[in-house]
Amino acid sequence: MTKAITVSGLRKSFGSTHALDGLDLDVETGEVHGFLGPNGSGKSTTIRVLLGLLRADAGAAQMLGRDPWTDAVEVHRRIAYVPGDVTLWRNLSGGEVIDLYGRLRGGLAPRRRAELIERFELDPTKKGRTYSKGNRQKVALVAAFASDVDLLILDEPTSGLDPLMEEVFQRCVEEERDRGRTILLSSHILSEVEELCDRVSIIRKGRTVETGSLADLRHLTRTSVTAELAGPPNGLAHLPGVHDLDVRGRRVRLQVDTDQLDGVLRQLSESGVRSLTSTPPTLEELFLRHYQDEVAR
Amino acid sequence: MTTLATRAPRGSRQLAGTGTLLRFALRRDRVMIPVWIAVNALMVLSMPNTLKGLYGTTAERADLVRQMETNASFRALIGPVFDTSIGALTAWRVGIYAAALGAVMSLLIVVRHTRDEEESGRQELVASGTVGRRASLTAALLTAAAANAVLALLITAGLAGQGASGALSFGLGLAGVGMVFATMAAIAAQLTQSARLARGLTAAVLGAAFVLRAAGDSATDGGTSQAFGTGGGSSVLTWLSPLGWLENQRSFAGERWWVLLLFAAAVAVQAVVAYELAGRRDVGMSFLPTRPGPPTGRLGTAGALAWRLQRGGVLGWSVGFFLAGVVYGGLTDGAADLVRDNDKAREIFERMGGLSGLTDAFLASMVGMLGLIASLYVVASVLRLNGEETSGRAEPLLACAVGRLRWAAGHLVIAFGGSALIMLLAGLGFAVGYGKEIGPILGACLVQVPAVWVIGGAAVLLYGLAPRLAPASWGIAVAVLLIGWVGPALNAPRIMLDLSPFGHLPKLPGGGMEWPPVLILMGLAMMLVGGGLAGLRSRDMTT
């Protein structure tokens, strides 16, 4: 069993809105998988189907090799879930909630719990109603990271965290991966995904539009190149895969399809290269390209 | 000058947006407030007819008043009666209860639009708009004032037939009590960070007001001897209670209008205090510190969590039902004597409670009333499931290794077990207060439970199949309550009484035990719960 989550052709409608329209998702065991998409694209709906809270209309889904609807309780023993907007019981302290969640999953490691509370600078004696948004997220995050589980499902978990805590969160995710745990991270923060994720799936309008490692995805897109040459450039305009060519004297700027990079470099070195900068596409550019397609359509 | 100006913005600015907030509050409460007013007005306005039916002649009423005068426990429970007219008897019989109901309505309105808003964080968003510092509190108080004004208007118009000035005095008095507790709630909302605690504090003051008045009234002479100057005046204790002011207005018995000034003064002072406190604190903060909780917890199961969330409610209802049993038990002998002399009253008690002896009939009707009230408990308890789901707290819990049915079972055991528990405690209260027939009275209390369970089952069914309709369970409970309370007195048609599960219960104590209806109701309750759970298991969770 190498797949922690497999989803294929998942459909779910609420009345006349199609929240999921044939969504596919594969998460390998032991990887951190980024789950990206604009608001309302169906990320949370997918997660709620995976948690057995919603029943899919069509398609297949498996979590840890089991059906998330019929075997919900067995599956849930081995997972921890952090929603994007944590609500707590107003008169229970944060510590009580952390322990409750831990016991209702596979159990809680007391030392890890204490360490996480320290690192997230959480006061576990405060009552639920007095926590701020960020602190409520911390309660759920501590409970999830301290639980003894195989799979973490994090649905925009860092909303409301400050940059320092965001850093702590990223270290925790890395530690979890090093322990061999699988993480599905739905996120809006692309730098976070870029930093943490082995593979990503980008969804739009309830469908998966792109999936693979960041390297794979970058391969499909353009790299920007800026070069200072010894002599005047030539022949660049006719090379396959070159876009937005801008030549000013000996200075060249261009965009190139990443799989055509080799030809461009060869052509540049014929003129003699004094300096060269090449920037891989950011995830943001990937994301925006898909999103802008949607706007354009 | 400039410093002063920035410190204290002009009054008009502090109230900016009040009108919008008021309209918003009235829209949010467009169901809740009319229901509260309607139930209260119905209770008051049906009373003259009931009394006319029971005590048609002045002689009969004089008889009733004489007996009431001499019975300290009745004075404690209902207050003194000042005259033998239907109007005076109406004000006496329902005054304190209508006022308490109006007070609860008012405190709920005010806390809902002040501390509730802050606790949920919605207030921050509202306050960031063009909304003055005092606008929210003002809008909340105006909402309560509007509700009380409508209530006063309905009561005045409805009772005008018994004497216009008495009706006006009584209506204004009810509104006065309402506004005293509205402004009291406004103070409590500044003191604590928890809306629930603010409601609890105000309700505790209301309870204290009732106890003060009861103690004062039981210690002094009856109303007519006060009114005719043959006895002493009202006790100091009574004068300490806003509920005591209402009775001291002597509506329909030579109104003392100046008593209304007490309401006005109390409302003004409390409002000033509330505004002062509100002006001295930050949004979301409070004057009473919140105590820290334990850093680690012992809760480990969904059932334990459900108990933790509901135990306060169960405790409150248990104490209330036990005390109600003690009080009604203590009144039983006196009540039977009272009714024995009045044919029509006896007839009504017999219709409500059964055919045999009057003591049994009185006990049966009191036990039946507690059964009806217990259906409010069961609905509140079942709907905790809905509250957990809509608030988003159920979702992460159900993402743990907790099945939906196990999660629901935790709350349902408390709802259904708890309703049996509070009826049992009511029975034990009767045993303490009355001391005779302990076995039959306990039986009578427990025989109510299947009917309570049917109401609870209906709530489970609604929640399981159509969670959006779950709050309609309150409508069912209130309808059953009205059928049970007002139905027999109004001689309602059999078919209407039969709609309520309570109408099918054997009349105990006194009547014979009949198992078939009890077993049928239990079976029905089980089917309703089963249907609801089946629905819950197969539907999408909503958030």
Residue B461, helix vs strand vs coil:
helix
Q: Which two tokens stand for residue B304?
A: 């334990």
Per the rule left: phi > 0, alpha: psi between -120 and 50, beta: everything else, B79 is left
The residue of chain B with its CA nearest to that of A122 is B295
Of A83, A103, A106, the CB nearest to B395: A83
Cβ contact, residue pair A82, B396, below 8 Å: yes
The residue of chain B with its CA nearest to that of A73 is B401
Q: What is the pLDDT of residues B237-252, one digit of tens each?
A: 889 999 999 999 999 9
Band of the pLDDT at A297, cuts 50, 70, 90? very low
How far is the alpha carbon of B109 from chain A, nearest alpha carbon, in Å?
A: 21
Cβ contact, residue pair A106, B395, below 8 Å: no
Cβ contact, residue pair A127, B302, below 8 Å: no
Cβ contact, residue pair A96, B290, below 8 Å: no
Cβ contact, residue pair B309, A103, below 8 Å: no
Q: Which strands sit side by side in the sheet containing A3-14, from one edge to the other?
A: A17-28, A3-14, A58-63
Residue A203, helix vs strand vs coil:
strand
pLDDT attached to residue B339: 67
Residue B458 has pLDDT above 60, yes or no: yes
Q: What is the pLDDT of residues B175-213, one digit of tens each?
A: 999 999 999 999 999 988 888 889 988 998 998 898 888
For chain B, the farthest-separated pair of C-alpha atoms sits apart, in whole angstroms, at 83
pTM recorded for the entire structure? 0.79
Closest alpha carbon to B44 in B157, B145, B182:
B157
Residue A30 has pLDDT above 70, yes or no: yes
Burial (Cβ within 10 Å: 0-12, 13-18, ≥19) of residue B378: buried
Do residues B95 and B247 touch, judged by C-beta distance below 8 A? yes
Average pLDDT, chain B: 88
Band of the pLDDT at B2, cuts 50, 70, 90? very low
Rounded to whole angstroms, how far apart are CA atoms B541 and B527? Answer: 22
Percent of chain A predicted with pLDDT > 90: 56
pLDDT attached to residue B222: 65
Cα B124 vs. chain centroid, distance in angstroms?
31
pLDDT attached to residue B188: 93
Q: Which of A239-243, A279-283, B163-167 has the highest mean pLDDT?
A: B163-167
Rounded to whole angstroms, how far apart are CA atoms A161 and A122? Answer: 12
Mutate to test the interface with A, among B193, B285, B400, B407 (most CBs of A within 10 A): B400
pLDDT attached to residue B5: 38
**B289: contact with A, CB 8 A cutoff:** no
Which residue did the predictor score with more confidence, B171 or A243? Answer: B171
* Residues of chain B neighbouring A90 (CB-CB closer than 8 A): 119, 194, 196
Q: What is the pLDDT of residues A80-138, one digit of tens each?
A: 999 999 999 988 999 999 999 999 997 888 999 999 999 999 999 998 878 888 999 99
Do residues A190 and A282 touch, judged by C-beta distance below 8 A? yes
pLDDT attached to residue B3: 41
ipTM score for this prediction: 0.83
Q: Do the bridges between strand A273-279 and strand A222-229 make them parallel or antiparallel, or are there none, so unpaired?
A: antiparallel
Cis peptide before A68 (omega within 30 of 0): no
Q: What is the pLDDT of residues A130-187, one digit of tens each?
A: 888 899 999 999 999 999 899 999 999 988 899 899 999 999 999 999 999 999 999 8
Residue B491 has pLDDT above 60, yes or no: yes
Average pLDDT, chain A: 89
Average pLDDT value for residue range B370-388: 95
Cβ contact, residue pair A127, B293, below 8 Å: yes
Residue B1 has pLDDT above 60, yes or no: no
Task: Estimate the crossing angle of helix B58-70 against helix B86-113, to 10 degrees.
Answer: 60
pLDDT attached to residue B489: 63
Of A55, A79, A89, the CB nearest to B393: A89
In order, the DSSP letters of B8-25 are S--HHHHTTTHHHHHHHH
Of A73, A87, A125, the CB nearest to B293: A125
In order, the DSSP letters of B29-67 are TTTHHHHHHHHHHHHHHTHHHHHHHH--SHHHHHHHHHH
Do residues B296 and A114 touch, judged by C-beta distance below 8 A? no
How far is the alpha carbon of A250 from chain B, nearest alpha carbon, in Å?
A: 56
Burial (Cβ within 10 Å: 0-12, 13-18, ≥19) of residue A289: middle
Q: What is the pLDDT of residues B34-46, one digit of tens each?
A: 999 999 999 899 8
Burial (Cβ within 10 Å: 0-12, 13-18, ≥19) of residue A272: exposed
Give the Cβ contact number of residue B129 at 10 Å: 11
In order, the DSSP letters of A132-147 are -HHHHHHHHHHHHHHB
Q: Tell me which residues of chain B, numbers 416 to 475, contact chain A at a CB-CB cutoff of 8 Å.
A: none
pLDDT attached to residue B236: 84
Cα-Cα-Cα-Cα dihedral sign, residues B377, B379, B382, B384: negative
How far is the alpha carbon of A35 from chain B, nearest alpha carbon, in Å?
A: 19
Rounded to whole angstroms, how far apart are CA atoms B65 and B82? Answer: 8
**B292: contact with A, CB 8 A cutoff:** yes
pLDDT attached to residue A244: 83
Cβ contact, residue pair B401, A106, below 8 Å: yes
* Residues of chain A neighbouring B196 (CB-CB closer than 8 A): 90
**A237: contact with B, CB 8 A cutoff:** no
Cα A138 vs. chain centroid, distance in angstroms?
19
| Chains A, B: CB pairs < 8 Å | 116
Rounded to whole angstroms, how far apart are CA atoms B237 and B219? Answer: 9
| Phi and psi angles of residue A213, each rounded to the nearest 5 degrees, phi first | -75, 160
pLDDT attached to residue A242: 87
Band of the pLDDT at B428, cuts 50, 70, 90? very high
CA angle, A24 then A29 then A30, to 5°: 125
Burial (Cβ within 10 Å: 0-12, 13-18, ≥19) of residue A231: exposed
**B392: contact with A, CB 8 A cutoff:** yes
pLDDT attached to residue A293: 57
No. of H helices and E strands in chain B? 28, 0
Q: What is the pLDDT of residues B442-452, one digit of tens each?
A: 999 999 999 99
Rounded to whole angstroms, how far apart are CA atoms A122 and A226? Answer: 47
Q: What is the pLDDT of residues B251-310, one digit of tens each?
A: 999 899 999 999 999 999 999 999 999 888 877 677 777 778 899 988 989 999 999 999
Cα-Cα-Cα-Cα dihedral sign, residues A164, A169, A174, A179: positive
CA angle, B303 then B308 then B312, to 5°: 130
Average pLDDT value for residue range B158-174: 95
Cβ contact, residue pair A91, B305, below 8 Å: no
pLDDT attached to residue B353: 53
Rounded to whole angstroms, how far apart are CA atoms B240 and B276? Answer: 24
| Phi and psi angles of residue B325, each rounded to the nearest 5 degrees, phi first | -60, -45
The residue of chain B with its CA nearest to that of A103 is B300
Rounded to whole angstroms, how far apart are CA atoms B368 and A101? Answer: 43
pLDDT attached to residue B232: 59
**B282: contact with A, CB 8 A cutoff:** no
